[in-house]
Structure 1
Amino acid sequence: MKLRYAPVEALSRLVDDLRLAEAASLSISDISDSPILHSHRILPMSVGILEGIVEGHPKLGTGRPITTSQVFYLDTELGIARTLSRWYRLGVSAETGRH
């Protein structure tokens, strides 16, 4: 049996983005076109994922409740999260009222 969770290209982009974030070389303008996730919270699962109301998602549109793919990077001070598939800008948190 073969199991492929994600294409190599997607994982490569994820690694590149994580390197930028860890090196503090990521600017908000780099992700200005990313979807915004309002009323977000991390769900208690075996891997971290987010749920919230999405705005501006290229496939899911706006105004829908969604759960993301696995979260690999989260910075609540900058209000950003990187999942397997994309960056999200974080709106107001459902739990704290902050990013």
Structure 2
Amino acid sequence: MTCTFADADTLTRLADDIRKASSERFGPAMLANAPFLDEYGLVRQPALSLTGIVTGHPRISDGHRCLSTQIFYLDLEQGVARTVNRWYRLGRPHGLEGH
């Protein structure tokens, strides 16, 4: 049995984004279509993922809690994360909603 969990084009975009984030400052164009994830938290499944209330996701309605694919890049100072499929802009961590 053969299983492919991410296609080559997706992994190429992921590697290109991580390379850019590691060598350049984030520009508005890199995050222009990134969903916003509020009340986010890290979740350990088999791999580390994000959960949170999403806005602007292409397939999940605004205001719903989502569970991301595996995280490959996380910068809490910039408030961004890159998963297998996309960038996320991060809001408040879970537990700080009332602050």
Pairing 1:6-85 to 2, within 5 Å after superposition: 6-85=6-85
User: 5+ residue gaps in structure 1?
Assistant: none
User: TM-score normalised to the size of structure 1?
Assistant: 0.89
> Is the CA contact (8 Å cut-off) linking 2:49 and 2:70 kept in structure 1?
yes
Within 1, Cα distance between the matches of 2:18 and 2:61?
A: 25
Give the number of aligned pairs: 97
Within 2, Cα distance between the matches of 1:25 and 1:91?
A: 19
Tell me the alpha carbon deviations over residues 38-78 of structure 1, each in whole angstroms, 9 at most, x when there is no partner: 10000133311000000010111211111000000000110
1:76–1:28 Cα change, 3 Å: farther
User: 5+ residue gaps in structure 2?
Assistant: none
Q: Identity, % of aligned pairs?
A: 36
> Is the CA contact (8 Å cut-off) linking 2:51 and 2:67 kept in structure 1?
yes
